[in-house]
A and B are shown apart, each in its own frame.
Chain A
């Protein structure tokens, strides 16, 4: 599983000064791929190429982007949209921000190619409202691209028209979920929609829509430039490509690092991030944002950051927003904090999530404050069963998984905190 990461040169955010300026970007082969696609490719060919490259969605679900594109119905002359998801609301995730700041034009180019492939009329870039500075940077980049004719009417003389708009979120986690993102874009309350109909049939304003993560779209020009085979050779076989690892927690050098997929977690902690703070042991690793099940620090050997390896280890790739925790961490507190987040962010539409998240948090507060009993641990697991897979969107799963896997994998931490009451029967 060893991936040659030491010789890897960053592709998404190459170390080129001032790359966010359009002149610099153009100098480094920027927008050449778009020109190539507009001149030489048919839309079907772009979709096939991206499908062959197996770019797996970087937003969490890891679905083949090209395959998703191919679900779009045939054009009927009416508007079709892309919603680019830069909401980044999952705790532990802060990778798209780097793209907005250091290489926005790569994303714009990728989104325009995707737009060409799916006959799109407009791309909405949905960025969380907290990223005010980055929303401005993105707007500047889009304005520059318009000025140079890479967006707008008759892009580079090809006759293809596409617009791009930045839309600011208003601080709700749930608006990072694709269907409530669309509701939010339409100016409505961020409630996830019932599927079917799927966005490809009925999305924004009832029209076919594809929702892709910012990082996913930024990968598209790389595939066009070097071909699907080259792309597939990067990183893990089943989950190829460069990934922005957002590493936070008790490591010496936290930050966003671009490396191929399939990196060993131990390499990331000890080589890339300079080891644990104070030389302590790793207690827990949350591999892909707070909703992914945490892994035990003593079970990290051989676990790599790609979908298959993580599934074997009992977790998920998510957004590759890793949270590393050392041996002094109190897992009860960690879990309470995560549950508090999901309780606060539940949109309140479906019953199991609306009331279940509160129930989980209140039970965890009870345990945290030392009033918990052994039966509360079973209650927590029971509540998770009652929530998982029973809501419109995946927020209930996202709230239940950390509880289920923290309680089962770090049970000794919880048992230490609860009163060991035994009730006599009868």
Chain B
């Protein structure tokens, strides 16, 4: 196998990797700004310099030439090479900043030049704390500055589009954003204008940066030049907790990181998953923070004389239990949801089947033609395939409305799915029925319900979803509810403030904890009343049971989902579209 020597350590490689990517794969820390593994290589930041040499081949014997000590003769390139654009070859010798003073000096020099016109306003910059320029300057930069002149001034606070704001002075012209719109989102809306140290990215006059993927440029910007108009000045990076999750606004199931502070979701950023979304996600997935934070149902609600009033949990449980005793099992209609997790749907179905009700139904939410073939799918809900694999009965909206309206149905139980709001069912269909809605947000469906059970959403519990590609992926609880505790739940991330903050810190409060519980937990409590509980402690127990009873989920568990970034349940792509 071909070999390469980096800082006197031997590595083996396959194919023709680029030296920088190879070093990153080996866990080394070469500094760089413009390189991005999913974009083309412009080699313009000149930060990833290495000394590179290749052994000299004797043309006659086809063997390496050796010197008098018996070691290979290495011919070094006359100039420093940018490792991002350098292909590894057999026997290549690389010296990085760890072993070469020349490289160390060159990296210091480049950083000095970058900082010459950089405003150094880190204290008020959103990028501070996660800024490659800041990090690399601390690690490899010069001490102090020799620049005693006026910096170049460029426009600040330019609104490039509805979601992205540019501070041109901070820009280091790595062109990642330009290459993103050229190569990934293919809208080609950004370009660099002007020359030399006066240049910065811009949109064409009269147009705006309304790319559906525009916020990815904010993520890949190595400085704070591009900022999100939504997240700008909202929170410092080091005050937030970063928790892995799954985007539930679309069937694609982009992998995300949920950034929370004081149990509010501050922002959502994509998480790398080569099998699903690479490094990217659509902008609307990030807007989901409004749904996660605001307009939440806290405490159960019952309808009394047409008014919704808050009630206690025991009252809600008792009224539900009473109602279940009133009606015959065949008079119950259980509606699952492609918006809810695999676990909730499974427990819902199991619970009511045990009471003798018919199997749960569900109605997918698919907007034909709204997909773009990249990360936006026609399917608007994250778990349509999950419901199909669980064996829920798939109904079209009109079939669903008809089955609700059936005179034999007296009790309708629906898991979180805004049936009225999305136009699947009219509110009038629920008239004359007792309608129990288990949801996390107030909406038109919850307004039509006689009993509303507040349930935890995808960032308040660990739960899993099966995306349009048939891949099961899971979230981790990022926000506390009234009944969960970050310090007791070992999966939840603990930020600096959670660990060391006190009750009197601004950021640590109980204000934003919602009075809700996971749907499966409520059903489990309900079952306790009739001594039929299943004994689930966490969603891990549920997925273990699903894996044992449903062969389509065999072998699935959270550890495997975490290790393999999701488990494909449906191998055939055609099948995935129409299980």
Contacts and interface: CB of A to CB of B under 8 A. Distances in A.
Interface of A: 172, 189, 191, 194, 343-352, 354-359, 362-363, 365-366, 379, 386, 389-392
Contacts of A191: 42
Interface residue SS majority, chain A: helix
Given A189-B191, A389-B79, A390-B109, 20 more contacts: A194-B42, A194-B43, A343-B196, A344-B195, A347-B195, A348-B195, A348-B199, A351-B172, A352-B46, A352-B109, A354-B197, A357-B197, A358-B152, A358-B197, A359-B147, A359-B149, A362-B149, A389-B80, A390-B80, A390-B106
A362 B114 CA distance: 16
A358 B116 contact: yes
A189 B43 contact: no
Instruction: From A352, A355, A358, name the one whose CB has the most chain B CB atoms within 10 angstroms.
Output: A355
A366 B46 contact: no
B113 A172 contact: no
Contact of B113 (A189, A347, A359): A359
B446 interface: no
A356 B197 CA distance: 9
B137 interface: no
B47 interface: yes
Counting contact residues on chain B (CB < 8 A from A), the size range is: 35 or more
Nearest to B85: A194
B149 A351 contact: no
Contacts of B113: 351-352, 354-356, 359, 386
B514 to A, nearest CB: 48
A355 B195 contact: no
Contacts of A391: 46
A23 to B, nearest CB: 44
Contact of B46 (A344, A365, A390): A390
A349 B112 contact: no
Contact of B197 (A172, A355, A390): A355
Contact of B117 (A346, A349, A355, A365): A355
A414 to B, nearest CB: 17
Nearest to B84: A194
Instruction: From B114, B191, B197, name the one whose CB has the most chain A CB atoms within 10 angstroms.
Output: B197
Interface string B132-158: 000000000000001111101000000
A338 to B, nearest CB: 15
Interface string B243-256: 00000000000000
Contact of B44 (A363, A379, A386, A392): A392
29 contacts: A189-B191, A189-B192, A194-B42, A348-B192, A348-B197, A349-B42, A351-B45, A351-B113, A351-B172, A351-B173, A352-B46, A352-B109, A352-B113, A354-B173, A355-B114, A355-B117, A358-B116, A358-B152, A358-B196, A358-B197, A359-B116, A359-B149, A366-B148, A379-B146, A386-B106, A389-B79, A390-B46, A390-B80, A392-B43
A191 B147 CA distance: 27
A362 B79 CA distance: 27
A355 B169 CA distance: 13
Contacts of A365: 149
Interface string B169-196: 0001100000000000000000110111
A173 B116 CA distance: 24
Interface residue SS majority, chain B: loop
A406 to B, nearest CB: 20
B496 interface: no
B110 interface: yes
B422 interface: no
Nearest to A375: B146
Nearest to B78: A389
B44 A350 contact: yes
Interface in B41-63: 41-47, 49
A181 to B, nearest CB: 16
Instruction: From B42, B109, B150, name the one whose CB has the most chain A CB atoms within 10 angstroms.
Output: B109
Interface of B: 41-47, 49, 78-80, 85, 106, 109-110, 112-114, 116-117, 146-150, 152, 172-173, 191-192, 194-199
B195 A352 contact: no
Contacts of A194: 41-43, 85
Contacts of B150: 362
Contacts of B196: 343-348, 354, 357-358
Given A358-B152, A362-B149, A392-B43, A348 B80 contact: no
A390 B199 contact: no
A355 B79 CA distance: 20
Nearest to A395: B196
Nearest to A354: B197
A188 to B, nearest CB: 10
Nearest to B112: A386
A366 B196 CA distance: 20
B149 A366 contact: yes
A386 B152 CA distance: 20
Contacts of A349: 42, 44, 173
B199 A386 contact: no
A262 to B, nearest CB: 28
Given A355-B113, A363-B149, A346 B197 contact: yes
A191 B191 CA distance: 12
Contacts of A350: 44-46
B48 to A, nearest CB: 11
Contacts of B112: 386
Contacts of A352: 46, 109-110, 113
Contacts of B42: 191, 194, 349
A349 B178 CA distance: 13
A390 B106 CA distance: 9
A384 to B, nearest CB: 11
B309 to A, nearest CB: 64
Contacts of A366: 148-149
Nearest to B193: A189
Contact of A348 (B43, B78, B147, B194): B194
Nearest to B150: A362
Contacts of A355: 113-114, 116-117, 197
Nearest to A366: B149
Nearest to B118: A355
A391 B109 CA distance: 13
Contact of A351 (B47, B195, B198, B199): B47
A363 B47 CA distance: 24
Contacts of A345: 195-196
Contacts of A189: 191-192
A194 B199 CA distance: 20
Nearest to B111: A351
Instruction: From B46, B47, B146, name the one whose CB has the most chain A CB atoms within 10 angstroms.
Output: B46
Contacts of B116: 355, 358-359
Nearest to A361: B149
A386 B109 contact: yes
Instruction: From A191, A345, A346, A351, name the one whose CB has the most chain B CB atoms within 10 angstroms.
Output: A351
A194 B117 CA distance: 24
A351 B44 contact: yes
A346 B150 CA distance: 19
Nearest to B45: A351
A354 B195 CA distance: 9
Contacts of B45: 350-351
A354 B109 CA distance: 13
A159 B110 CA distance: 54
A351 B41 contact: no
Shortest Cβ-Cβ A-B pairs, 7 listed: A362-B149, A386-B109, A346-B196, A355-B113, A348-B199, A355-B116, A358-B197
B39 to A, nearest CB: 14
B132 to A, nearest CB: 14
A349 B45 CA distance: 8
Contacts of A392: 43-44
Instruction: From A346, A350, A362, name the one whose CB has the most chain B CB atoms within 10 angstroms.
Output: A350
Nearest to A174: B195
A423 to B, nearest CB: 14
A369 to B, nearest CB: 11
Nearest to A192: B44
